[in-house]
Amino acid sequence: MNKSEITLNVNSEERSVYVRHSDTLLYVLREELGLTGAKPGCLNGDCGACTVDVDGQAMKSCLMLAIEAVGKKITTVEGLQNIPLKTAFIKKFAFQCGYCTPGFLMNSNSLINNYPQADDIQIKDCLESNICRCTGYKEIEEAVKSVLADGSTGNGNY
């Protein structure tokens, strides 16, 4: 098994790690860097539980090789600090079992940053990327809309 050393910028830190070229970003974040916020779900790009932010765009980390992320800025849910969106999720009861929550937070944060004036169609289009098997969709949508209505940005520490 051949491994190469790469450096990833994760949550504003430069992290050196040995990877196989065929390792997904999800695997490296969780198993090599100890960042277990991104959740393995379908591993097929369908469920969105593994969503992270790469250069300001929501990205399913099971659909990206770790080596593709060299030179890019990666933010995981661990890097989302002090953002109104987290408070909104708590206020609106936007989670039940919580497994999908990191993915929804990352996707919603990207939505708020990229489309601060998002209308209902854009919100639906973005949120359709994630699955919540507890079916907490309504509450999640309300949490996102409350942040958009406040005019707060998502940001986080990146």
Partner 1 sequence: MISYDFEYFKPSSIDKAISLFQSLDQQGKEPIYFSGGTEIITLGRVNKIKTGAVIDIKEIPECLVLKRESNKLTFGAAQTLNRIRESQYFRFLNKAIGEIADHTARNKITLGGNMCANIIYRETILPLLLTDSQVIIAGPGGLKQLPLNEVFDQTLRLQRGELLIQIMIEEKESELPFLCIKKRRQWDVGYPLMTIAALKKDQQIRFAFSGLCSYPFRNEKMDGSLNNQALPKEARIEEAMRQIPAPVLKDVHGSEDYRRFVFKNTLLDVLDTIGGTEIE
Q: Which is nearer to partner 1, 16 or 44 (CB)?
A: 44
How many residues bind partner 1, per CB under 8 A?
29
Could you give the residue ranges of the DSSP H alpha helices within the chain?
A: 25-27, 84-91, 101-114, 120-127, 137-150
Q: Is 20 exposed, middle or buried (0-12, 13-18, 19+ CB in 10 A)?
A: middle
**Residue 51 interacts with partner 1 (CB under 8 A)?**
yes
Q: Which is nearer to partner 1, 67 or 87 (CB)?
A: 67
Segment 16 to 35, residues that bind partner 1, using CB under 8 A: 20-24, 27
Interface with partner 1 by CB under 8 A: which range of 64-72, 76-84, 90-98, 149-157?
64-72
Rounded to an integer, what distance in angstroms lies between the CA atom of residue 53 and that of residue 126? Answer: 14
Residue from the set 29, 37, 60, 95 that interacts with partner 1 by CB under 8 A: 60
Q: Residue-wise over 109-132: b if at least 16 C-beta within 10 A, else e?
A: bbbbbeeeebeeeebeebbebbbb
**Residue 133 interacts with partner 1 (CB under 8 A)?**
no
**Residue 118 interacts with partner 1 (CB under 8 A)?**
no
**Residue 59 interacts with partner 1 (CB under 8 A)?**
yes
